[in-house]
Amino acid sequence: MDIDNDHRVLSIQSHVVSGYCGNKSAVFPLQTLGFDVDFINSVQFSTHTGYPRWTGQVLNEQDIFELIDGLRHNNLLCKYTHLLSGYARSASFLEAMHSAIKEIKSVAPNVVYLCDPVLGDDGRMYVPHELLSVYKEKIIPLADIICPNQFEAELLSGIKITGMKTALEAIDYLHSLGIKTVVISSTETGFDDTNEQLMTIGSSQLPGANNQDRQLCKLVIPRIPSRFTGTGDLFAALFLAWFTKTKFDLKITMENVTATLNSIIRRTYEYANNKPNGLELPFNRELRIIQSRDDILEPKIQNSAELI
């Protein structure tokens, strides 16, 4: 493992006191894989919002400006090699995040920025609609890598994904905005009539391990019959780590990421099924990330990515 490399990530996304999503899903896997992680919590909630009741605070634009100002005055902004962003709750916060990312890119020109454009899922937005235009016009053009789910890719591209052809059209549109690596983390529509599989589709214009000009891969995994919060945040963090460690080999990265994610979800599913009230309780469905440290360090590849 390349633990001697000086990889330092600034992760800007949500935080929960109890459970796993946002930075709680991202920080431990990144640290386990040898990355130093600094993090700004866009919100701090008691739990994720899938619980019957949740409380907490929302960071505003002035808060992030103050935090960035403190890092700036201590000459720390130039130390970052990677940026990661996820859930934000307001357009004004996204605007402030845009300014921060632009500044970091100006003082650390080789920084790699992965944007997980958290907008919604299952055909429904769960952030205010005005965030979409800020993502499209300001945040996405700064990104080197994006990891939307199918619904988010449709929102960002304006293309309804009904199969592989339209998925590739959406990916090509996002490439046209200047994004070198586009990964649709999960697709559900038009690929599997039995609804028992999920597909990840990735495209990278960065030269990978074999120095090919463009890498285009798909990977199919079995669907586990339940919903788990924080899997997208975990996917993005794992992708950022493995894409770096494999020197931009998209195929190996996708295999490692999905293997780890699948192991964690299966462990969580089995744990929940052995608890009172099973999968009905949100607490039982919290990702078993800490218990999966070995799977994070050494993923057990069971599903191979296929070059398209």
pLDDT band at residue 234 using 50, 70 and 90 as cut-offs: very high
Q: What is the pLDDT of residues 158-202, one digit of tens each?
A: 999 999 999 999 999 999 999 999 999 988 754 555 667 889 999
1 within some domain = no
DSSP per position, the chain: --TTS--EEEEEEEEESSS-STHHHHHHHHHHTT-EEEEEEEEEESS-TTSS---EEE--HHHHHHHHHHHHHTT-GGG-SEEEE-----HHHHHHHHHHHHHHHHHSTT-EEEE----EETTEE-S-THHHHHIIIIIGGG-SEE---HHHHHHHH-----SHHHHHHHHHHHHHTT-SEEEEEEE-SSS-TTS-EEEEEEEE-S--TT--S-EEEEEEEEPPSS--TTHHHHHHHHHHHHHHHTTS-HHHHHHHHHHHHHHHHHHHHHHHHTSTTGGGSTGGGS---GGGHHHHHS----S--EE-
Q: Measure the CA–CA gap between 110 and 279, rounded to whole angstroms.
A: 44
pLDDT band at residue 207 using 50, 70 and 90 as cut-offs: confident
Q: Measure the CA–CA gap between 136 and 206, rounded to whole angstroms.
A: 22
For residue 165, the domain's CATH number is 3.40.1190.20
Q: What is the pLDDT of residues 5-19, one digit of tens each?
A: 799 999 999 999 999
2 within some domain = no
Q: Is the distance from CB of 226 to CB of 269 less than 8 angstroms?
A: yes
Output the pLDDT for position 188.
Answer: 74
Letter for the amino acid at 205? Q
What's the average model confidence in pLDDT over 231-254? 96
Q: Measure the CA–CA gap between 149 and 118, rounded to whole angstroms.
A: 9
150 within some domain = yes
Q: Measure the CA–CA gap between 9 and 35, rounded to whole angstroms.
A: 7
43 within some domain = yes
| Percentage of the chain modeled with pLDDT above 90 | 85
Smallest Cα–Cα separation from 234: which of 210, 253, 258? 258
34 within some domain = yes
Output the pLDDT for position 192.
Answer: 54
143 within some domain = yes
Number of domains in the chain: 1
Decide if pLDDT at 301 tops 60: yes
Output the pLDDT for position 273.
Answer: 93
Quickly count: other Cβ atoms within 10 Å of residue 199's Cβ: 19
Q: What is the pTM of this model?
A: 0.94
Quote the domain boundaries for residue 268: 8-307
Output the pLDDT for position 214.
Answer: 85
Q: Measure the CA–CA gap between 232 and 228, rounded to whole angstroms.
A: 9
Q: What is the pLDDT of residues 30-83, one digit of tens each?
A: 999 999 999 999 999 999 999 999 999 999 999 999 999 999 999 999 999 999
Q: Which positions are annotated as active-site residues?
A: 233
Q: Higher confidence at residue 35 or residue 222?
A: 35
3 within some domain = no
Q: Is the distance from CB of 200 to CB of 242 less than 8 angstroms?
A: no
Decide if pLDDT at 2 tops 60: no
220 within some domain = yes
Q: Measure the CA–CA gap between 108 and 78, rounded to whole angstroms.
A: 5
| Percentage of the chain modeled with pLDDT above 70 | 95
